[in-house]
Amino acid sequence: MSHSEAGAQSGAEVVYRAEVHVEAAPGMIKLVSLPAKADPVAMGVHGEIAKHFKLAEGTFTPQTSTLDYIVGATAGCLTGVLSRGLTVRKIAVGDGRLKVDAIGEIESDEGVLVIRRIHVVAHLKAEESQREAAKRVAASCESQCPVYRSIHKAIDITTELDFQPIDK
């Protein structure tokens, strides 16, 4: 299927085309050239993922896996949406006030590693008077997040706001 056919098939205008190039390297490493990045990003295996592939220690160089990048991209995108929404409502996010953690749960499906769940927790330190506004913003993040909307039908993505009141 050509690029133009893929865009036409969905019925939407293509507003951006991400062009990525990958080069295989020894030790299960992939060197991925991404837009706006001068140097390729190394992706590979580590820990439990390496064990899944029955790789002995010393036969590979531990690298962040492609699955880790999906979890990170999901948390990063949701964080960006949340941060913008909070900032518009004059709720500060800098100076360590907004930190986000994510856990991706990966299962083996017929021998193939598959991300089944991603849980994202946003830890927000803000004034008590901002709690309700922060909760409303957090509740709307999923619908505004491009990564969430791209993958949520395949991966169960849940979000949580850990509101931590601070004194003025």
pLDDT at position 9 is 64
CB atoms within 10 A of CB 47: 9
At 10-34, the pLDDT tens digits run: 788 999 999 999 999 998 899 999 9
pLDDT-derived band at 8, boundaries 50, 70, 90: low
Q: What b/e sequence results for 100-136 when a residue is b if at least 16 CB atoms lie within 10 Å of its CB, and e otherwise?
A: bebebebeeeeeebebeebbbebebbbeeebbebbee
Residue 40 or residue 167, greater confidence = 40
pLDDT at position 7 is 52
pLDDT at position 5 is 56
At 63-98, the pLDDT tens digits run: 999 999 999 999 999 999 999 999 999 999 999 999
φ, ψ for residue 111 (rounded to 5)?
85, 0
pLDDT-derived band at 167, boundaries 50, 70, 90: confident
Please give the single-letter amino acid code of residue 98.
L
Q: Picking from 3-7, 50-54, 104-108, 127-131, which range would have the lowest pLDDT averaged per residue?
A: 3-7
**Domain spans of the chain?**
15-63, 66-166
The structural architecture, per CATH, of the domain 66-166 is 2-Layer Sandwich (3.30)
Q: Alpha helices, DSSP H only, in 11-130?
A: 47-52, 66-88
pLDDT-derived band at 102, boundaries 50, 70, 90: very high
Cβ(157)–Cβ(148) below 8 Å: yes
CA 38 vs CA 1, 42, 52, 77: distances in Å: 30, 13, 32, 21
